[in-house]
Amino acid sequence: MTPLVTQFVQQYSRRVFGRRKKLKAAHCNTLSTLSSPTLSSLSPVGCPSAPTNITDLSTSSASLSTLSTCTSDDSSVTLTGSAIFNRAIQSLYGYECPVNRPLGIRILQHLCRQQKPLSLTHHRPSIIQGAAHSILGFSYEFGLGIKTSFQKAEHHYLLATSILTTCIEINDGESTLALMVDASLAIVYQACLVAVARLAFLRKYGRPGIKMDRREADRYEVMLQQQQLGQQVNGDMVLSWFRHAATIFNCSASQYCLGVCYHDGLIVSKDENEAFRWYKLSADLGNCRGQGILGYCYGEGFGVEKDETMAITWYRRAASQGETVAIYNIGYCYEEGIGVPKDISEAIYWYTLAAEQGNAFAQNALGYCYEDGLGVPKDLERAVTWYQRSANQGYPWAQCNLGYCFQNGIGLVEKNPEQGSYWYTQAAQQGHARAQHNLGFCYQNGIGVEKQPKEAVYWYQQSASQGNIFAYHSLGYCYQNGLGVDVDDRKAVYWYYLSAEQHHAPAQLSLGFCYRNGIGVKKNEREALKWFRRAAQQGNALAQNSLGFCYEEGLGVKKDPAHAVYWYLKAAKQNNPWAQCNLGFCYANGIGVAPQAAKAVYWYHKAASQHHARAQDKLGMHLQTGLGIQQNKTLAVKYFLLSAQQGQVSAQYHLALCYEKGMGVQENLHEALTWYEKAATAGCRNSQEQLRRLLLRYCLENALVSSSIQHTIDNWTQQSSSSQPVGWISGFAAPAA
């Protein structure tokens, strides 16, 4: 060693490690006190026992550079590194010496710059370097002796975690603590874990310029748990650094971090009261993070009685120091009227302020305001811009919103389902329930991805496990229809019920159909009516139509045509084609209203324009007869054909009549036979009779009969009309599924 290094080590080791000649034993007995209660007995700043003869490394620019000089003896290197690291910590926190954070930062930076290769048998130099990176990152994150930089904090945290991980891997996965031959390295080990804990936080919640990734956050939390399990002697080792810095050093940043651990249940059991206590200590010392989260506690009643006025007070204190999360929360308070009068314009001001400083939460909120025109003119392009900025920082809500915009072409030149599914995937992999459901929907329907029913079910299950009511309903649909799973009507009803009980109208409608048709449950028209009504009262158009049908036909309730028209009209005004057709039928036949052919035609036309087959057939009949509309038999044939091609049996019969009699179209017995047969096969008794009659006529008028016609003759002349099923009942309202 150089003389300067020797002097520093000997002087400093007498204070920290004991006398030089008892160095190794002193390591075990003295340094371990940092993780034991005896540490509290050490003297604080200003105590007479505080050292005055320790070499001030800041007095010489050359002094730090000489510290890189090492001998080949690893134990000497370790001693020097330990002593230097402890000196940095004392300088940062003012423990047994005056606070000198610039000096502490310089020492940590010096340790970080050391290039000491990691050997397979000696881990100490690297662990010390990892600890230096960790505490330097902590200093950058909280602005301790150096300008705050979240990016630099992240950089040093990653290096520290990488070093710790390498040491664990070299020791075949065993706890790093087991590698230590003495307790002197317990401190640096704890310091390395600070980096892991803070990375877990940053990946989970983000900070301006730091990308969220909740999968990574989970991995870091697992890493902490694994280290905790490996410490059977001292189970609180993982939190020791925060706890001692918070109590002995009175570090407001550490107090805040300790509160976060109790808040999230990180390593320790979740404890709202304990979290609030540490947050309050941090806030009272002026820490802006502590002040911001204290506002949250008061706003939510977390660990303290709810007090919205106190919430906004603490948010403002934190915001005055530039804390972007607090700035965003003030905007949210104005949007929702929490502790302040509701003022969406003021909310936009605060959201913009936070968003422009890189806060991902605010960027997403601002995007939503522009998408819906809340407090600002509606601007879909700007909405997408803000969603994109937030999504690029990994915020899953913004990723999901951006995916929805791409899927539906909101604020974009055109739809891009591939990009939509990409952003859904990014959010879904972070555990975002809504994105998981939407991604499942993409896989179910092949939107932006290849259709994969099993993959759809997987994502629905992931979303459902978080209580997403849309996923409950989608899972029920999969079980009812055998998409990605075997058909299981009972499971379908189970999932429908879970969603319906939480007021999800589509699930209430589906559950109503199960009761109406006896699918997975015993048929119960009253129960069906109950669920139809609940969904209808929430404005679900399909449910309103179904409820109208129940009143029209007396299913589960006394017949009430007027109520039927009431609900049909509500659904029809929402452009539901089933209800429009049913309402037209009511006007045509005087059901619940006075007969009005013109209104019947109006509603039939509305439904027919949406390709509703039954409405197309009904409209064709009015055009053919000129009832409520100018007669146009040619146009009638067009609507009959459109309807018949969709399988509407009544339209097939009417089209066959037109071809047989040459109404609106040139007479064509072959086409007439074709459409009569289609309708007859479906059970239309009129078509069956007409088919037998027309076959005889065809045979008389045509000497040569084609093989297909001969087959039809053979088939239908051998059957009596009574043997055919009756499936066409004119005038029934169509089911609303």
Per-residue pLDDT tens digits for 543-596: 999 999 999 999 999 999 999 999 999 999 999 999 999 999 999 999 999 999
Q: Name the average pLDDT for the chain.
A: 84
The pLDDT, as a whole number, for residue 731 is: 29
pLDDT band at 41, cuts 50/70/90? very low
Question: In the structure encoding, which two tokens stand for residue 529, read together?
Answer: 């009516």
List Cα–Cα distances, 60 to 6, 100, 103, 106, in angstroms: 16, 15, 11, 12
Is pLDDT at 618 greater than 60 in this prediction?
yes
Residue 540, SS3? coil
Mean pLDDT of 643-669: 95
pLDDT band at 190, cuts 50/70/90? confident
* More confident of the two residues 13 and 306: 306
Is pLDDT at 399 greater than 80 in this prediction?
yes
* More confident of the two residues 699 and 588: 588
Residue 558, SS3? coil
For residue 395, the tally of other CB atoms under 10 A from its CB is 26
List Cα–Cα distances, 638 to 634, 642, 668, 679, in angstroms: 7, 6, 15, 18
For residue 733, the tally of other CB atoms under 10 A from its CB is 23
For residue 334, the tally of other CB atoms under 10 A from its CB is 24
Residue 207, SS3? strand
Half-sphere exposure of 151 (CA within 13 A, CB side): 4
Among 197, 161, 156, residue whose Cα is nearest residue 176: 161
Cross-strand partners of 207: 210
Half-sphere exposure of 627 (CA within 13 A, CB side): 16
Write out pLDDT tens, residues 626-644. Answer: 999 999 999 999 999 999 9
Mean pLDDT of 200-204: 95
Residue 60, SS3? coil
Among 470, 480, 483, 405, residue whose Cα is nearest residue 433: 470
> Are residues 479 and 493 in contact, defined by beta-carbon separation less than 8 angstroms?
no
Is pLDDT at 52 greater than 60 in this prediction?
no
User: In percent, how much of the chain has pLDDT > 90?
Assistant: 69
Write out pLDDT tens, residues 525-535. Answer: 999 999 999 99
- The CA distance from 512 to 538, in Å, is 14
- The CA distance from 48 to 57, in Å, is 22
Write out pLDDT tens, residues 262-287. Answer: 999 988 899 999 999 999 999 999 99
pLDDT band at 713, cuts 50/70/90? low
Question: In the structure encoding, which two tokens stand for residue 238, read together?
Answer: 């993982």
Mean pLDDT of 346-354: 98
> Are residues 300 and 294 in contact, defined by beta-carbon separation less than 8 angstroms?
no
List Cα–Cα distances, 370 to 209, 224, 291, 404, in angstroms: 23, 41, 30, 15
Is pLDDT at 411 greater than 50 in this prediction?
yes
Mean pLDDT of 107-119: 75
* More confident of the two residues 543 and 42: 543
Residues 480-503 as b or e (16 or more Cβ within 10 Å = b): beebbbeebeebbbebbbbbbeee
Q: How far is CA 67 from the centre of its chain?
A: 50
- The CA distance from 300 to 314, in Å, is 13
Question: In the structure encoding, which two tokens stand for residue 279, read together?
Answer: 């947050």
DSSP 271: -
- The CA distance from 502 to 506, in Å, is 11
List Cα–Cα distances, 422 to 8, 363, 501, in angstroms: 57, 20, 32
- The CA distance from 602 to 527, in Å, is 34
3-state helix, strand, coil in the chain (%, to 5): 70, 0, 30
Cα torsion 623, 629, 630, 634 to 10°: value is -20
Lowest mean pLDDT segment, chosen from 354-363, 476-485, 700-709 = 700-709
Is pLDDT at 51 greater than 70 in this prediction?
no
* More confident of the two residues 244 and 59: 244
The alpha carbons of the chain give a radius of gyration, in whole angstroms, of 38
| Three-state SS letters, 336-383 | HCCCCCCCHHHHHHHHHHHHHCCCHHHHHHHHHHHHHCCCCCCCHHHH
- Can you list the pairs that 495-500 forms with residues at least 24 positions away whose Cβ atoms lie under 8 Å? 495/464, 496/472, 498/469, 498/472, 499/469, 499/470, 499/472, 499/473, 500/531, 500/534
pLDDT band at 27, cuts 50/70/90? very low
DSSP 37: G
**pTM, 2 dp:** 0.80
Write out pLDDT tens, residues 604-617. Answer: 999 999 999 999 99
